[in-house]
Structure 1
Amino acid sequence: MTNINVVGYVVLILGMMMGTIQGGTYEDVYNLRTTLLTSYDADILPLDDQSGSLNINLSMMVFTMPEVNPVQGAITMGVMVTQEWYDERLTWTPSDHSGTMIISMKSGNIWTPPLTVSNPITFTLLDSSWMQTKIMSSGKVMYTVGGIIQFSCSFNMKFWPFDKHICTLNLFPYGYMVNEVSFSVPGTVVDTSIYSENGEWFLDKDSFNYELGTVFGMNEIAYSFKIARLSAFYLLTVILPINGIGMLTCLVFLLPTESGERVGYSITIMLSLAVFLTVTAEELPKNSEPLPIITVYILFNLAICIIGLLFVILNWILFNRTEKDDMAEIYKSTVRFTRRKWCKRKIRDDPPRKTSVVRINVKSKKKFPDFGDEIADEDIGWKDVSEAVDKIMFVLFVVVTYIPSIIILIYTAAASGYIKG
């Protein structure tokens, strides 16, 4: 929402609240104003009995929430607060003043509550001497204040970008103790009928509530509300790309070792994940209580990528060994394990090697492979070992990458709930 629109809303609502002066001529209103302000001091609580307490009825309207900044722990919100109270020093009989029942007066001329934000980013006083008040003959005063204010909220980013928060806007009458000024909310807690939606955050309009308390010995009212991040943008720009990069990490073991591109491919993937980690860190507060699950998720993928790079390098060493290097039994067992399920099909498709074990049909004198026998150890080379390791690593990395990823994402989205900041 632009500043022009905000000002328009303020002017419109103030115009509706202020109304017009009812009855009497200019001189009648001037004489009434002079009479009311005679012996009136705006610095004194407007009670005949100064040992009493002044009650103020509050009604709030929220019309915009242009910015939510979890990194700074700040919310910017456009609010208007209408305060109503009875000023015992500002009463008159309308018939004595040509029927004048309501007059308007600048707030600097009479006593007004110094309504202050108690959890601000910078000190904020919702009061100004140029604002108008509406005064009725019964002494009832209506005073509307507000604007674009910025206040603090503690954001729990554990479930980012599916995070939900409960924040509060706290107000108190600066300088007046509990026994002097008190608050009450007689009607609707907060009016959101003209609220303008935020493109990144959802504001639950029905979640507004209030709680009365004290701060520094003064009465305080805390307006609480719920906000939730609209996660579709981050789902498309962060979560899905990270999953895609995780898939590419597994595919490195399908690249031919002879290509010589495996190490560079793995390093590129690792750097891509590091970039995503940097982008995510810019969106999160600089604290570790609690640590966002998405950060752990990216670090997990980065660790998998680093481990994959190590296996690629070690497998490259195996691939380049010669027949002169002795081969341990564990390497041969690895090859036998990967060939056990498909060696029969391979033998059918390929002609048997010279060292393969065959049986002779006495009648036909034809030779055919013995599918029940194992391939001879002499047939296993270091390239076969490298190929077997690639197959095992591919399956293992698919399992290790995707099962934890699915579990983490489902948990993050499902377990996210409104957390009070």
Structure 2
Amino acid sequence: MMKHGVVRFRCLLILSVILPKIDGGTLTEYNNVHSTVLSGYNKDARPVIDQSQVMNVTLGFHLLTIANVDEVTSEVVSVGSFYIHWKDEVIQWDPSLYGYTFSINIDESLVWKPPMTFLNPMSSNMGLLGFKHSKIKYYADGGAYWNIADRYQTTCDFDTRYFPFDKQTCSMKIMVWDYNKHEVLMYASNSVIDLNYYSENGAWILASTETKFELLAENSVVVFNLNLKRRPLFFVVNLFIPVFVMLMLNTLVFILPADSGERVGYSITCLLALAVFLSLVSDGLPQVSKPMPLIGYILATYLIISGLICVETIFILRVHHKEEEEEISPFFMRCYNLFSCGSCKKSSPSVDNFTTEKDQEMTKVAFEIPELSPVTWKKISSSLDKICFMSNLASVIIVGAVFFVIVNVKSIS
């Protein structure tokens, strides 16, 4: 019984605190409040008794999702709602006189509201923020709360230099229209954007947000910054890996036998496959030149390497099929010596320690180095194959590694 009494007392205590804040009264009393506060109301005048005073407006933003980010058109589409608060000194009443009616909703077309507009809209005819016939909630002390939910299209200055490991900062800039800073001053209600109901974007990570107050000439501006980081996995799987595999396959042309008759066709096929693939994926790359994405230089370098492989293949085949009677130049001899031991002879071990002449003769015969076969054009072409294979393979790996090191360093910083 004692426990039930304590619980009942707590419930009554809570109700005694809450009930006075809950709107009471009848519909007639509600209508009376509505009619009274709007009687003689001038929606074109700032609702402050002393017109020399600055009117403070706070602005916040609930972000629901980032619907689209387009680098080509420099467009960011975000879905959310702005919540605006100000103090209306004209619309005030005593709740006890109206059946404890603490709040009312008034059509935005009937009252004063802070006119706001985007400074960076994607559409030129966006106009002022807000829907027609939306409601503003007023409380008895004059507090006004206005929520505006919509799909907002704004511009963004993209820096795609390190695509697809890039980071972007996109802003929504809201400015008070028709009033200068001495009449209406707008502040951000929070230092960050409200993300309680945020749904993640599949292509971008919302790393952080921030809000700040600025002055543009005589007007106050609130800036909402979205710090975005691209998800690179899609481009790594569908762009980098295929290109890298094609280049690796292209370098294998130097392993094919020169007499197979397939070398030139194989190398040109790899070059065409790479060119066609790059033309297909070009629509998914940032189509900007300032700044030029680093990935554009990398892909161009890979395409040049693939073209050089075709040239090297044709040149090596020409060397391979030269007449053996034709004199070999010193340049080709150096290329041959680079991957062979034709220019150096192993020194035989010393035989001075053997006592008898017979032992010395047997040792000389045992360690005698056979005569090396003469250098031919086919051997030179084989050495060129090794040089081209190693150099092109190293070029492909080094170019890719340098790119990933640069973008990783920049992404960390």
Q: Which residue of 2 aligns with 1:383?
A: 378
Structure 2 distance, partners of 1:280, 1:290, is: 20
Equivalent position SS for 2:339: helix
Structure 1 distance, partners of 2:151, 2:410, is: 33
Report the residue type matching 2:164 in the other structure. P
Q: Which residue of 1 aligns with 2:408?
A: 413
CA gap of 1:214–1:276, structure 2 versus 1, over 3 A, is: farther
Q: Which residue of 2 aligns with 1:230?
A: 231
Report the residue type matching 2:369 in the other structure. F
Alpha-carbon shift at residue 216 of structure 1 (Å)? 5.7
RMSD: 2.8
Report the residue type matching 1:371 in the other structure. I
CA gap of 1:188–1:321, structure 2 versus 1, over 3 A, is: closer
C-alpha offsets along residues 40-91 of structure 1, whole Å, 9 cap, x if unaligned?
A: 1222222223332211122221111121112221111111111111112211
Q: Does the CA-based 8 Å contact 1:21-1:103 persist in structure 2?
A: no
CA gap of 1:372–1:294, structure 2 versus 1, over 3 A, is: farther
Equivalent position SS for 2:97: helix
Q: Does the CA-based 8 Å contact 1:108-1:128 persist in structure 2?
A: no
Report the residue type matching 2:194 in the other structure. D
Structure 1 distance, partners of 2:296, 2:163, is: 9
| Residue 129 (1) aligns with residue 132 (2) | yes
Most deviating of 103-112 and 267-276: 267-276
Q: Which residue of 1 aligns with 2:306?
A: 305
| Residue 196 (1) aligns with residue 199 (2) | yes
* Aligned residue runs from structure 1 range 174-323, under 5 A: 174-187=177-190, 189-204=192-207, 207-215=208-216, 217-323=218-324
| Residue 53 (1) aligns with residue 48 (2) | no
Report the residue type matching 1:327 in the other structure. I
Q: Does the CA-based 8 Å contact 1:126-1:146 persist in structure 2?
A: no
Alpha-carbon shift at residue 194 of structure 1 (Å)? 1.1
Query: What 5-or-longer segments of structure 2 have no aligned partner?
Result: 1-20, 346-358
Q: Does the CA-based 8 Å contact 2:176-2:186 persist in structure 1?
A: no
Alpha-carbon shift at residue 304 of structure 1 (Å)? 1.0
Q: How many residues align?
A: 378
* Aligned residue runs from structure 1 range 54-133, under 5 A: 54-122=55-123, 123-124=125-126, 125-133=128-136
Equivalent position SS for 1:416: helix
Q: TM-score, normalised by structure 2?
A: 0.84
Q: Which residue of 1 aligns with 2:8?
A: none
Q: Does the CA-based 8 Å contact 1:212-1:221 persist in structure 2?
A: yes
C-alpha offsets along residues 363-407 of structure 1, whole Å, 9 cap, x if unaligned?
A: 89x98895375x25xx32222221121111112212222123212
Q: Which residue of 1 aligns with 2:356?
A: none
Q: Which residue of 1 aligns with 2:328?
A: 327
Q: Does the CA-based 8 Å contact 2:190-2:211 persist in structure 1?
A: no
Alpha-carbon shift at residue 276 of structure 1 (Å)? 4.2
Equivalent position SS for 1:84: strand
Structure 2 distance, partners of 1:215, 1:161, is: 34
| Residue 371 (1) aligns with residue 369 (2) | yes
C-alpha offsets along residues 205-236 of structure 1, whole Å, 9 cap, x if unaligned?
A: xx221121133632110011211111111111
Q: Does the CA-based 8 Å contact 1:29-1:103 persist in structure 2?
A: yes
Most deviating of 163-172 and 401-410: 401-410
| Residue 392 (1) aligns with residue 393 (2) | no
C-alpha offsets along residues 131-189 of structure 1, whole Å, 9 cap, x if unaligned?
A: 11111111111111121111111111111111111221111122222222111234463
Q: Does the CA-based 8 Å contact 2:165-2:407 persist in structure 1?
A: yes
Equivalent position SS for 2:206: strand
| Residue 145 (1) aligns with residue 157 (2) | no
Q: Does the CA-based 8 Å contact 1:22-1:103 persist in structure 2?
A: no
Q: Which residue of 2 aligns with 1:349?
A: none
Q: TM-score, normalised by structure 1?
A: 0.82
CA gap of 1:23–1:408, structure 2 versus 1, over 3 A, is: same
C-alpha offsets along residues 282-319 of structure 1, whole Å, 9 cap, x if unaligned?
A: 23333222221111111111111111111111112112
Most deviating of 163-172 and 48-57: 48-57
Query: What 5-or-longer segments of structure 1 have no aligned partner?
Result: 1-19, 345-360
Q: Does the CA-based 8 Å contact 1:76-1:148 persist in structure 2?
A: yes
Q: Does the CA-based 8 Å contact 1:277-1:295 persist in structure 2?
A: no
Report the residue type matching 1:191 in the other structure. D
| Residue 401 (1) aligns with residue 402 (2) | no
Structure 2 distance, partners of 1:362, 1:56, is: 107
Q: Does the CA-based 8 Å contact 1:159-1:412 persist in structure 2?
A: yes
Identity of aligned residues (%): 28
CA gap of 1:216–1:121, structure 2 versus 1, over 3 A, is: farther
Equivalent position SS for 1:339: coil
Alpha-carbon shift at residue 104 of structure 1 (Å)? 1.0
Q: Does the CA-based 8 Å contact 2:191-2:210 persist in structure 1?
A: no
* Aligned residue runs from structure 1 range 14-25, under 5 A: 22-25=23-26
CA gap of 1:342–1:193, structure 2 versus 1, over 3 A, is: farther
Q: Does the CA-based 8 Å contact 2:165-2:230 persist in structure 1?
A: yes
Structure 2 distance, partners of 1:368, 1:35, is: 123
